Amino acid sequence: MRHPVFARCLAAALVAGITVPAAAQQQPQQPPPAAAPPAQSPASTQGKPPVEAPKSGPGYSYNREGRRDPFISLVGRGTGTPGEARPEGLAGMLINEISLKGIMRQSGGFVALVQGTDKKTYVVRQGQKLMDGTVKTITEDTVVFSQDVNDPLSLVKQREVRKTLRTSEEGRG
């Protein structure tokens, strides 16, 4: 006579479709009755085609159908990767990374002195390009930049950034 726990395990294995070695089987077993497919409510099947299980094996490939690939990382998907090298000098700096140090009048108009992230001072003229914009105008106390907006949700593609030489409190007195 078999042990009752062994009989329950054997029955569970047969229902689950697990094969049991012949040494463990002492008598021939009857195949388990076929399980009935789960009943679906009429509300869950209305308007939806039946969902098929994905095929497995060597012939299976991922079908995006307009979705992004879930195996590609979302980190670092901006304008450049974190390890990407920028151009040298002022062309590789963002408008928010520079600070205005002075403005000089020349024969052709005004030029501005700005300090970059490398702690060097650069001479900037109207129309000069930076990494994310250009110098729009230079007046005696203000430099106006036209900054490119890199936000897909924004309706505005460019905005003005003003850097003043002195704040309004410093000019008084």
| Assigned CATH topology for domain 89-166 | SH3 type barrels. (2.30.30)
4: phi then psi, degrees, rounded to nearest 5: -65, -35
How is the chain split into domains, by residue range? 89-166
Order of strands across the sheet that contains 158-164: 129-130, 133-138, 142-148, 158-164
Q: What is the pLDDT of residues 112-170, one digit of tens each?
A: 999 998 999 999 999 999 999 999 999 999 999 999 988 888 888 899 999 998 766 65
Q: Is residue 145 helix, strand or coil?
A: strand
Distance CA 64, CA 74 (A): 16
Q: What is the pLDDT of residues 14-24, one digit of tens each?
A: 666 655 555 55
Mean pLDDT confidence for 44-50: 60
What's the whole-model pTM score? 0.49
Q: What is the pLDDT of residues 63-100, one digit of tens each?
A: 778 787 777 777 655 555 455 678 888 999 999 999 99
Q: Is residue 60 helix, strand or coil?
A: coil
